[in-house]
């Protein structure tokens, strides 16, 4: 709240973050690169950079979100209500929090405090480990089939249209979204989602793994 009070151009204030397990224990960190080491899978995980969304220009802030907001933890910061009212809020599809962050980034700066206050918990029922059917139920979409990638990209393309950032900036932002589409397509080709599912499956089976 102090950050928002002192900085009228800041629309979202948040903190640094860490990864914890079901019991609240912080993941160990790799001393060489500072990444958190998932104790169950051995995978090194990095929190989103706390400086995402802190650039002076809306186009730069949007690119920071598109290229760096993997976990989307900034969405758990404190957001100005009048700014939030200028967005489409959280839509009913997976990863809609990234789209909301993109909208907010075009409307103003994000800023972080130096404390590590947000703890991202890994557990067997976290959304990251749910399959597509479970995610649809989790998001109250019933049995209707849909492509989360298609809905997300469509929302990204629509986001700049009604933002007060000028015609040129809107065009640049739309171009950035197009580049992001290519990135997503590359992830599909390299089966990144499939690899994430394999890693997540270990958390689903945690209770069955001998200790």
Indicate whether 142 pLDDT > 80: no
Q: What angle do CA 209, 210, 211 make, to 5 degrees?
A: 115
Residue 79 is predicted with a pLDDT of 97
**How confident is residue 128, by pLDDT bands cut at 50, 70 and 90?**
low
Query: Which single residue is written with the structure tokens 């067997």?
Result: 124
Does residue 85 have a pLDDT over 70?
Answer: yes
Token reading at 80: 């100005």
d(CA 111, CA 50): 8
Q: How far apart are CA 69 and CA 52, in angstroms?
A: 7
pLDDT at 140: 61
| DSSP H/E element including 11 | strand 10-20
Domain limits, the chain: 2-206
The H-or-E segment that residue 174 falls in is: helix 167-189
The mean of the pLDDT values for the chain is 83
Q: What is the pTM of this model?
A: 0.82
Mean pLDDT within 51-65: 94
């Amino acid at each position: 709240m102090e950050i928002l009070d002192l900085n009228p151009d800041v629309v979202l204030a948040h903190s640094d973050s860490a990864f914890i397990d079901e019991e609240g224990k912080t993941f160990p960190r790799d001393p060489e690169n500072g990444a958190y080491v998932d104790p169950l899978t051995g995978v090194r995980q990095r929190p989103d950079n706390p400086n995402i969304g802190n650039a002076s220009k809306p186009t730069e802030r949007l690119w920071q979100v598109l290229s760096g907001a993997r976990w989307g933890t900034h969405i758990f910061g404190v957001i100005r209500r009048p700014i939030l009212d200028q967005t489409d809020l959280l839509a009913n599809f997976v990863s809609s929090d990234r789209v909301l962050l993109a909208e907010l980034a075009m409307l103003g700066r994000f800023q972080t405090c130096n404390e590590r206050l947000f703890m991202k918990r890994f557990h067997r029922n976290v959304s990251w480990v749910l399959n597509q059917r479970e995610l649809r139920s989790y998001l109250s979409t019933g049995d209707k089939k849909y492509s989360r990638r298609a809905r997300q990209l469509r929302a990204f393309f629509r986001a700049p249209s009604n933002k007060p950032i000028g015609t040129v900036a809107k065009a640049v932002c739309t171009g950035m979204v197009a580049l992001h589409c290519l990135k997503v397509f590359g992830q599909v080709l390299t089966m990144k989602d499939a690899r994430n599912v394999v890693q997540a499956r270990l958390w689903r089976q945690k209770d069955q793994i001998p200790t």
